[in-house]
Structure 1
Amino acid sequence: MKLPSRLHLAGACLIFPLAFGASAASAPAAVDAARIIAADREPGNWMSHGRTYDEQRYSPLKRITDRNVGELGLAWTARLDIDRGVEATPIVVDGVMYTTGAKSIVYAFDARSGTLLWKFDPDVPGIRMSEGCCDVVNRGVAVWQGKVYVGAYDGRLIALDARDGRKLWETDTVVDHARSYTITGAPRVVKGKVLIGNGGAEYGVRGYVSAYDADTGKLAWRFYTVPGDPAQEKDDRAMDIARKTWHGTEYWKQGGGGTVWDSMAYDPELDLLYIGTGNASWWNRQARSEGKGDNLFVSSIVALRPDSGEYVWHYQTTPGDMWDYTATQHIILAELPIDGKKRKVLMQAPKNGFFYVLDRTNGKLLSAEKFAPVNWATHVDLATGRPAVDEEAANYLKGPKVISPAFIGAHNWHPMSFNPATGLVYIPMQETAGMLSAPANPERVAHKSVVNLGVDVPDLPEDPEVVKQIAASFKGKLLAWDPVQQQAVWTQDYRTIYNGGTLSTAGNLVFQGTADGRVTAYAADSGKLLWSSPANTGVMAGPVTYEVDGEQYVTFMAGWGGIFPLILGPLSREARVQPEARVLTYKLGGKVVLPPPAQLPQAVPQPPAVTASAEDLAAGRTLYNGFCGGCHGLNAISGGVLPDLRYLDARKHAQFKDIVLMGARAAKGMPPFAGTVSEADAERIHQYLIKRAHDLRQEAASARP
């Protein structure tokens, strides 16, 4: 059959508009509150980010079980446009899948066949891709009454027509364009309002969550998570509470952080919206708040009224956070038997390594225990709800400290799931540790692509054998956790950290992708590995399952990227994968063959001669790791997401200063640093890269038989 030509409509690419077919709903994405609240009555759909408002990521579907999961085969696969980090949770409604890839590109697929129905590219400017943390990722869309909502990386919230991907409205969520605000999180829709937060704490932004009318895009309310300029603030109960916990006369000028860049959950019965907030800005508590105060509402769980954004209660997981211990990790609502009584609880396993169970009606702490190795605090006091910080182990203001977990966390953004049948939470846990120290007088670099932490993160050594030892200490695990007994029930070990989110099902299964390029299924009760299949790339996103025409499918969004392979390239290479962005959908008896991964060239071009002194090379290494290492990898070792600068060819060596200083590749995301980096320092960085290219060629020669 000859395929119709591609049509471009208002930025959308429309393909096969009739593919919705007679079996799909007459109105695509016809989702409202009633459908999401009653989601268990139509388990074949996945209509909200966590499937249900309680974000349990549990499916009642059980055609695929622990007895037949070994028969899973690939039903269809689709390549995405950009081979960068893929973190989206797909939404599936009435036979149509809505999902996103890197740069916030939205895709609609026929959920049975993988046929592309339409695509929308928000055209994020290249220069904006450098002005945010942790890759140009996106965690998915929300759907509501025929519309698809996406938060673009540059801070826009966009509504699309679910039928053809046409843009219906767009609003700018950024309150200050002089700051590096971004959006990577998935919107939620509650009571006709689209909820979205933002990222950028490391760059010095002020956190907030906003609600927009789902039909028009008009701002309904905005809740700030940290106080601003007191001279400009109106009377506000929440900010009155928060302001008392900050110190200094100009603390607000550095932004404060507390960004709402990921987790939310909603309880329709209590009519409470729960948000998780991020770390403080700067990390250095002395620099941001005179070393004092809890600095509310950073690293907190906050309950709000969804109609108005009114503050109801908060619980702070890490008071006075100075370790990047965000509380933006996945929030799950459930009912658990606590002390013989069924309680409405909220559960979270944030970066700091403690698993929290709260009474979600009032924010009271019910229990908190370590789910990973932790040395920054000995325990959490149940009477006060506060951690007992180990000053000797964790206060790097008094000298360098090796702190566990490291800034990448004991659990990062990768969503966990809860299975009511087993009573277990399945956590993508990781064991990490890292050294922090504080400079005497931290200075802010005024550049939108440079993070300002107020701390020194020591460089990794260049010795490959030492790097291997450090990489081996970073351990990834799938952890089955009993939230009532607050203890591990079973674990599965992985090659490295940054493994994918989890999905649990009524078929006694837990699905998870892995950093080392696999998709897997385990018995939910025992942890026995039942199925594994190659994915060609690291899999980080949380999988989903759905049913169409009586067939159950499981989908993994696959694609390696994010902060781990970007900044910690030398350590992430243990995953032994490369970026390849795909949708992978499986069913029982699937016969599709996954194409082999692309092979990258390995030859290192002959670099120019090193002409710098040892002193200038050392300075170049410091400059490189400070300005370049966050994207291209520390010590010029890329994790494979962005170019490894040891492989520069003669043409790029000749263009080096134009690229670094003048922005010759700004359209591709490489910002200009003229005015921030001097010409002499640019040459020092260049010489260091030349030296590292020679190092690599020498290593390659030594490895040959």
Structure 2
Amino acid sequence: MNGNTVARVLRIPILAVATLLLSTGTTAADPAPNADWPMWQFDSPGSRYNRNETTLTPGNVGSLQLKWAFAFPGAVAQSSQPAVVDGVLYSGGRDGKMYALDARTGATRWVFDTGTMLEHIPAYGLRDGPAVAGGAVYFGDNAANLWAVDAVTGHERWHTRLDNHPLSIITSSPLVFEDHVYIGVSSQEEGGGLADPLYPCCTFRGSVVSVDAASGAVQWKYSTLAQPTTRTGPPGPSFSPSGGAVWSSPTIDSATRTLYYTSGNPYTGTPRDLESIGAVDIDTGTRRWVNSLTPNDTWNVRCAVPPAGGACPVPGRDFDFGAHANIFDIGGRKVVGAGQKTGIYHLLDATDGSIVWQTQLSVPTSPLPIEGAESLAGIQWGASYDGSRLYVATYGANPGTLFALDPGDGHLLWRTPNPANGCLIDLPPVPMDPLCQESMPNAVSSSPGLVYEGSMDGKMRVFAADTGAILWEYNTHRPFVGVNGVPGIGGGLNGNGAVVANGMLYTNSGYAHPITTGMPGNMLLAFGLP
């Protein structure tokens, strides 16, 4: 629904904030034209490859220096991947605010308050990455609202609630295509059975929604599964099927006008079409095909408390998809692929969903003594495709590893494990942080000759695209004072990916979660050449 909001815009004088800069300087070369990064996927096919970013090269990337840091007030995690357009960086905070910063200096342009931070507990605020198009900034929040804010002034254009379920949220980052915004809807109901064993689990259904970019009106809504039915009995009513959250961000093939999504696990029941890669007509929202890669993997957080029972009579292994779908061509054949928490990257025929190849990059092993923790060894948020190689990273695979695959047949070109000393603080050496993990859950990013991947050990690293050699790394797990005057600390890197735009590298730092843990933090860091 559209309407007024309690949100407000705070304007900040740029010169006043700029005096707090950590460092100054410009890049060694002028950035390539149109080297912006406008949305999480980078482009409609979801390549996460900025082909126009040619300022950073394998020869000079080792000279990257911290240019500025921005601290998000009161946060223990930062996972809204920035968008960079026309010299402005946009990123949301766990405080429910969208921030517009000068991309070169970090100086605040404006702050928009959605007023939704405390609508759910825990207060995740803004988690997805914004998309910038047509002079507007589009993003979702923790109450399943989709917002459109003027990119220059920070004033609201509209907001629309995409799902009325009280535990629905948005972690999917929007994709803007032909005056429409496409986005997935997810939920926190998966944890309802743990908080309350009498909770009538479960009624949420994941979806992908098409919204008019100018008005916020919903054009169509595609649900990942059928309406749940009621079953009565002790300890009370229950519902199935449910789940199928769309945590990931959609991608689109413009030639065939097809949207591709990936879906989560069922919370209850054994529906056929979840933990899948699916295809939908972008004009009508009608299903074209769905390939369920792990059928009947029913799981909710109640499964994490042995023995199974209540809302979790037969626990699955939580092998849902968090990664987005990559669309590309091999030998004139249109294909779509995605990594799964099973550790498998699946490549399918984009026309009918049939399997082209599958490559197992990690073996599901449990780092924790709970049902479903096996999924933490898999592929978490997404891969990058640069036209020659497909880059995929694994999460807690003992250790997490960055891989380059041949897109034609999926065979391994190179692999670079998380360095064994990754959890040692570099200056000076101190004992390992107990929350540190040698894991690479982040979505991978790339530019010509370079691959970017952060780790839960707090390091941001840049790799050579042809060999996988580490060309640069920076330890973000340290204290900072932001250019906004707020003190902060960096931590684990999770829930987003690096952004490379106009000769700069941007990364969030800090991640804490009650189950998967991680080193907390509240930073956005910007790096450039001397």
Q: Please tell me the TM-score bracket, short chain as reference.
A: 0.7 to 0.9
Q: Is the 8 A contact 1:374 1:404 kept in 2?
A: no
Q: Secondary structure at the match of 1:114?
A: coil
Task: Read off the aligned partner of 1:365 and give its amino acid letter.
Answer: I
> Structure 1 runs of 4+ off > 6 angstroms?
401-405
**Greater RCO structure (CA 8 Å; 6+ sep):** 2
Q: Is the 8 A contact 2:252 2:259 kept in 1?
A: yes
Q: Is the 8 A contact 1:427 1:479 kept in 2?
A: yes
Change (3 A) 1:215 1:17: farther
Cα drift, residue 103 of structure 1? 4.1
Q: Show the counterpart of 1:87.
A: 79
Q: Secondary structure at the match of 1:281?
A: strand
Higher share in strand: 2
Q: Is the 8 A contact 2:262 2:323 kept in 1?
A: yes
Q: Is the 8 A contact 2:380 2:441 kept in 1?
A: no
Q: Secondary structure at the match of 1:117?
A: strand
The answer to whether the aligner puts 1:210 opposite 2:209 as a matched pair is: yes
- Partners in 2 of 1:373 and 1:559 — Cα distance? 27
In the superposition, the TM-score normalised over structure 1's length comes to 0.59
Q: Secondary structure at the match of 2:394?
A: strand
Alignment RMSD: 2.8
The answer to whether the aligner puts 1:264 opposite 2:250 as a matched pair is: yes
Q: Show the counterpart of 1:491.
A: 415
Change (3 A) 1:560 1:375: closer
Change (3 A) 1:499 1:359: closer
- Partners in 2 of 1:425 and 1:139 — Cα distance? 23
Change (3 A) 1:229 1:351: closer
Q: Show the counterpart of 1:424.
A: 389
Q: Is the 8 A contact 2:365 2:377 kept in 1?
A: no
In the superposition, the TM-score normalised over structure 2's length comes to 0.77
- Partners in 2 of 1:263 and 1:150 — Cα distance? 12
Show the 5 A alignment for 1:473-492.
474-492=398-416
Residue among 46, 62, 67 paired with 2:59? 67
Cα drift, residue 297 of structure 1? 2.2
Q: Show the counterpart of 2:99.
A: 107
Q: Is the 8 A contact 1:405 1:431 kept in 2?
A: no
Equivalent pairs: percent with the same residue? 27
The answer to whether the aligner puts 1:165 opposite 2:165 as a matched pair is: no
Q: Show the counterpart of 1:151.
A: 140
Cα drift, residue 375 of structure 1? 8.2
Change (3 A) 1:251 1:479: farther
Deviations 1:596-637 (A, max 9, x none): xxxxxxxxxxxxxxxxxxxxxxxxxxxxxxxxxxxxxxxxxx
Question: Which structure 1 residue ranges, 5 or more long, are not aligned?
Answer: 1-8, 20-40, 232-249, 283-287, 290-294, 377-400, 433-473, 573-577, 590-705
Question: Which structure 2 residue ranges, 5 or more long, are not aligned?
Answer: 1-5, 17-31, 193-201, 231-235, 298-315, 423-437, 478-490
Q: Is the 8 A contact 1:355 1:370 kept in 2?
A: yes
- Partners in 2 of 1:502 and 1:354 — Cα distance? 16
Q: Is the 8 A contact 1:105 1:122 kept in 2?
A: yes
Deviations 1:2-54 (A, max 9, x none): xxxxxxx95111224899xxxxxxxxxxxxxxxxxxxxx95411123221111
Q: Show the counterpart of 1:279.
A: 265
Q: Secondary structure at the match of 2:186?
A: coil
Q: Show the counterpart of 1:124.
A: 116
- Partners in 2 of 1:325 and 1:137 — Cα distance? 25
The answer to whether the aligner puts 1:329 opposite 2:323 as a matched pair is: yes
Q: Show the counterpart of 1:219.
A: 218
Q: Is the 8 A contact 2:251 2:326 kept in 1?
A: yes
The answer to whether the aligner puts 1:538 opposite 2:505 as a matched pair is: no
The answer to whether the aligner puts 1:301 opposite 2:264 as a matched pair is: no
Residue among 182, 189, 192 paired with 2:179? 192
Deviations 1:574-608 (A, max 9, x none): xxxx422222111111xxxxxxxxxxxxxxxxxxx
Change (3 A) 1:499 1:348: closer
Q: Secondary structure at the match of 1:126?
A: coil
Task: Read off the aligned partner of 1:523 and give its amino acid letter.
Answer: A
The answer to whether the aligner puts 1:504 opposite 2:446 as a matched pair is: yes
- Partners in 1 of 2:209 and 2:10 — Cα distance? 29
Q: Secondary structure at the match of 1:335?
A: strand
Deviations 1:332-385 (A, max 9, x none): 11112xxxx332111211112221111112222111121211589xxxxxxxxx
The answer to whether the aligner puts 1:516 opposite 2:451 as a matched pair is: no
Cα drift, residue 403 of structure 1? 8.2
Q: Is the 8 A contact 1:66 1:530 kept in 2?
A: yes
Cα drift, residue 497 of structure 1? 2.1
Q: Is the 8 A contact 1:10 1:166 kept in 2?
A: no
Q: Is the 8 A contact 1:226 1:258 kept in 2?
A: yes
Q: Is the 8 A contact 2:251 2:261 kept in 1?
A: yes
Q: Is the 8 A contact 2:317 2:375 kept in 1?
A: yes
Residue among 126, 129, 141 paired with 1:140? 129
- Partners in 2 of 1:528 and 1:333 — Cα distance? 26
Task: Read off the aligned partner of 2:405 and give its amino acid letter.
Answer: W
Q: Show the counterpart of 2:523.
A: 582
Residue among 511, 528, 532 paired with 2:469? 528
For this pair of structures, how many residues does the alignment match? 441
Q: Secondary structure at the match of 1:70?
A: helix
Q: Secondary structure at the match of 1:406?
A: helix
